[in-house]
């Protein structure tokens, strides 16, 4: 019997040993980077940046991996659970910054930011990585929602200039609809997803409203908020907004717009190249233009749009923090960004001036339009509130918008209910 017990114990011990193995660190300092596919520069470009850095810094080895956007958040969260974290550097979406900062995942790099960097990088870019006054990373993938219009449709309706205010757009849309050119001239992404929040922010801030007040309390259910939501509903009732917008995300907007079934749309920069130059994907190539995002007449602002950028951050518990910073600094340096800006807009204001601007615009056909458009629009870009409970709060707001737009609740009621939930998350 003793033999049996000993054997058994051996088996158990073996299992536990397997569970407890450690592995020693060897070789040059490794920096593990988690980036995203289909984001900004191509994989090849990213890899060559890494190769360049590795060559110039022989005591460091940067290793980079790519995942899809959907898996990014979960991968980061999981990686943070192990010690040391499985990744030293990772791409962080704007809406996760507050959550990650509060959870202690990301390193506060405020004292690494020189005044020069502060000055020469777009303010709206810093909005991404700054949480409660501290900087937690370098902005990197800048994007915002743009206003697109189909020039041909406008011309057919006798309209020569794109609208500067939402009210003007409504007027133009009605003209287009009355002339039977397009059944639903405007298409939005108001489906119950984050996409709806992006449109909401664009419209709300264009009305002079905001999501939260200075104290961080929900402000979206005030008079301005209700007014904006009512306006959205009205545009559906008037038949100028495509009613299917209530279930759409960005891709659906692109599809509808690409088929010439809408005259106006808002979307991220990715849509431009596809709708205006890609004949496999679009039936309206050559007809699409962008202009400054309109605002409401009583909003008190020239323009307002959603800032949907991402930044690169360093894991707070990473053993290679300093070297990781070197890499990020390199990646986001003006020189590197300028050289690799075929698919990624630089974060430096100076890149959009003079000769640099020319080079930038010369990279691709789309750049001729998107680059100037970017620097024109970016100063009017707003980020979503940096609250740690943003995912849950956003879902509550998405639900509210959906309820109001499908008329199961009044705008006031829906927004008030979301505000109540928001407040409950604040505890």
Partner 1 sequence: MAALRGKTSLTLRQRDTIIGLLLIAPSLVIIFGIVLQPILSTLYLSFFDADLGLGRTNIFLGLGNYLDLLADPVFWETIQRTLYFTLVSVGVELVLGLGIAQLIHAHPPGWRILRASLIIPWAVPTIVNGTMWRWIYNADYGALNGLLLQLGIIDKYIPWLTKPFTAMNLVILADIWHSVPFIALILQAALATLPEELEEAAEVDGATPWQRFWFVRLPLLRAAILVALVIRTVEAFRVFDIIYVITAGGPAFGTVTISYLTYLETFSFGNVGRGSALSFLISIITLLLAFIYIRFLYRPEERME
Partner 2 sequence: MTGWWRFRMPKSGALLNTAMLTVLVLLVMVFIFLPVLWLIISSISTRAELLSVPVHWIPENPTLENYISILVPGSATSEVARTFKITLRNSLVVATSVTFISLLAGSLAAYALVRIRFRFSEILLIGIIGTRMIPEVSLVIPLYILAARIGIINTPLVLMATYLCFSLPFAIWLLAAFFQTIPLELEDAARIDGCSRIRTLFQIILPISAPGLVSTALFVFLLAWDEFFFALIFTSTVAAKTVPVAIAEFTGRYVVDVTAMMTGGVLAAIPPVVLALIFQRYIVSGLTAGAVKG
Q: Residue 114 binds what, of partner 2, partner 1, none (CB under 5 to 8 Å, by partner type)? A: none
205, two tokens = 């801030």
Pairing of strands 60-67, 29-36: parallel
In this structure, what is the dihedral angle of CA atoms 214, 310, 110, 47, given to the nearest 10 degrees? 180
Report in angstroms how near the CB of residue 119 gets to partner 2 at its nearest: 30
Shortest gap between Cβ of 259 and partner 2 (angstroms)?
Answer: 7
| Least spacing, CB of residue 87 vs partner 2, in Å | 9
Cβ nearer to partner 2, comparing 144 with 228: 144
Q: In what order do the strands lie in the sheet with 310-314?
A: 60-67, 29-36, 89-93, 310-314, 138-141
- Nearest CA to 345 out of 93, 41, 111 is that of 41
> Of 3, 27, 59, 81, which lies in the binding site for partner 2, with binding defined by CB under 8 A?
81
Which residues of this protein are in contact with partner 1, per CB under 8 A? 1, 3-4, 7-8, 11-12, 14-16, 18-19, 73-74, 77-78, 80-81, 83, 85, 99, 102-105, 191-193, 244, 246-248, 252, 255-256, 316-317, 391-392, 399, 402
Q: What is the CA radius of gyration of the chain?
A: 24
The residue among 124 and 187 lying less far from partner 1, judged by its C-beta, is 187
Q: Which is nearer to partner 2, 254 or 384 (CB)?
A: 254
415 touches 222 (CB < 8 A): no
- 21 interacts with, out of partner 2, partner 1, none, CB within 5 to 8 A per kind: partner 2
CB of 70 to partner 2, least distance (A): 6
Residue 14 contacts which entry, partner 1, partner 2, none (Cβ below 5-8 A, type-dependent): partner 1
Exposed / middle / buried, residue 137 (Cβ in 10 Å: 0-12, 13-18, 19+):
buried
Query: Residue 103's binding partner, choosing from partner 1, partner 2, none, with beta-carbon cut-off 5 to 8 A by kind?
Result: partner 1
* CB proximity list for 267: less than 8 A, separation 6 or greater: 145, 146, 148, 189, 250, 253, 254, 257
How far is residue 367's CA from residue 43's CA, in Å, rounded to a whole number? 20
Out of partner 1, partner 2, none, which partner does residue 215 contact, by CB within 5 to 8 A per kind? Answer: none
* Residue 21 makes contact with partner 2 by CB under 8 A: yes
Residues paired with residue 106 on neighbouring β-strands, in sequence order: 315
Residue 221-260 contact track with partner 2, rule CB under 8 A, x = bound: ----------------------------xxx--xx---x-
Scanning 63-71, 175-183, 333-341, 373-381 for contacts with partner 2 by CB under 8 A, the matching segment is: 63-71
For partner 1, give the closer residue by CB, 24 or 81: 81
> CA-CA distance, 253 to 262, in Å (whole number)?
9
Q: Considering the complex, what minimum distance in angstroms separates the CB of residue 83 from partner 2?
A: 8
**What CA–CA distance (Å, rounded) separates 178 from 195?**
29
Q: Which CB sits closer to partner 1, 7 or 423? A: 7
Question: CA–CA separation, 219 vs 293, rounded Å?
Answer: 22
Find all residues with CB under 8 Å of 204, minimum gap 6, and list them: 210, 211, 220, 224, 225, 228
Residue 267 DSSP symbol = E
Residue 239 · residue 184 · CB < 8 Å: yes
Site for partner 2 in 27-56 (CB under 8 A): 34, 36-39, 42-43
Angle at 325 between CA 330 and CA 127, to 5 degrees: 85
The answer to whether 221 and 417 are in contact (CB under 8 A) is no
**What, of partner 1, partner 2, none, does residue 43 touch, CB below 5 to 8 Å by kind?**
partner 2
Q: Contact between 65 and partner 2 (CB under 8 A)? A: yes
Interface positions with partner 2 (CB under 8 A)? 18-23, 34, 36-39, 42-43, 65-71, 74-75, 78-79, 81-83, 86, 249-251, 254-255, 259, 268, 270, 280-281
């Amino acid at each position: 019997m003793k033999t049996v017990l000993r054997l058994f114990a051996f088996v158990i011990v073996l299992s536990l040993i397997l569970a407890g193995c450690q592995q020693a660190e060897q070789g040059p300092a490794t920096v593990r980077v988690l980036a995203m596919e289909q984001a900004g520069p191509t994989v090849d470009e990213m890899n060559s940046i890494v190769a360049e850095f590795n060559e110039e810094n022989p005591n460091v080895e940067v290793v980079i991996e790519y995942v899809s956007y959907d898996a990014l958040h979960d991968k980061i969260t999981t990686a943070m659970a192990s010690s040391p974290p499985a990744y030293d550097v990772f791409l962080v979406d704007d809406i996760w910054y507050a959550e990650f900062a509060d959870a202690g995942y990301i390193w506060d790099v405020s004292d690494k930011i020189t005044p020069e960097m502060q000055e020469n990088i777009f303010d709206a870019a810093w909005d991404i990585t700054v949480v409660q006054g501290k900087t937690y990373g370098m902005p990197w993938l800048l994007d915002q929602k743009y206003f697109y219009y189909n020039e041909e449709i406008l011309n057919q309706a006798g309209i020569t200039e794109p609208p500067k205010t939402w009210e003007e757009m409504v007027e133009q849309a009605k003209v287009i609809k009355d002339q039977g050119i397009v059944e639903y001239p405007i298409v939005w992404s108001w489906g119950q997803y984050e996409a709806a929040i992006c449109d909401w922010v664009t419209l709300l801030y264009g009305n002079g409203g905001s999501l939260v007040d200075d104290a961080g309390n929900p402000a979206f259910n005030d008079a301005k908020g209700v007014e904006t939501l009512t306006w959205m509903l009205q545009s559906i009732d008037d038949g100028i907004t495509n009613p299917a917008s209530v279930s759409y995300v960005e891709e659906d907007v692109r599809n509808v717009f690409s088929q010439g079934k809408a005259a106006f749309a808002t979307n991220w920069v990715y849509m431009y190249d596809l709708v205006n130059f890609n004949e496999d994907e679009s039936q309206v190539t050559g007809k699409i233009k962008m202009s400054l995002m309109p605002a409401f007449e009583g909003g008190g602002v020239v323009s307002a749009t959603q800032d949907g950028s991402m930044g690169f951050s360093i894991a707070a518990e990473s053993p290679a923090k300093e070297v990781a910073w070197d890499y990020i600094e390199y990646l986001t340096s003006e020189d590197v960004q300028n050289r690799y800006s075929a698919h990624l807009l630089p974060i430096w204001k100076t890149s959009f001036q003079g000769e640099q601007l020319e080079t930038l615009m010369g990279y691709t056909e789309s750049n001729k339009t998107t680059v100037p458009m970017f620097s024109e629009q970016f100063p009017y870009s707003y980020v979503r509130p940096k609250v740690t409970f943003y995912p849950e709060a956003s879902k509550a707001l998405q639900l509210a918008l959906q309820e109001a737009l499908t008329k199961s609740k009044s705008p006031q009621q829906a927004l008030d209910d979301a505000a109540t939930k928001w407040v409950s998350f604040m505890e």
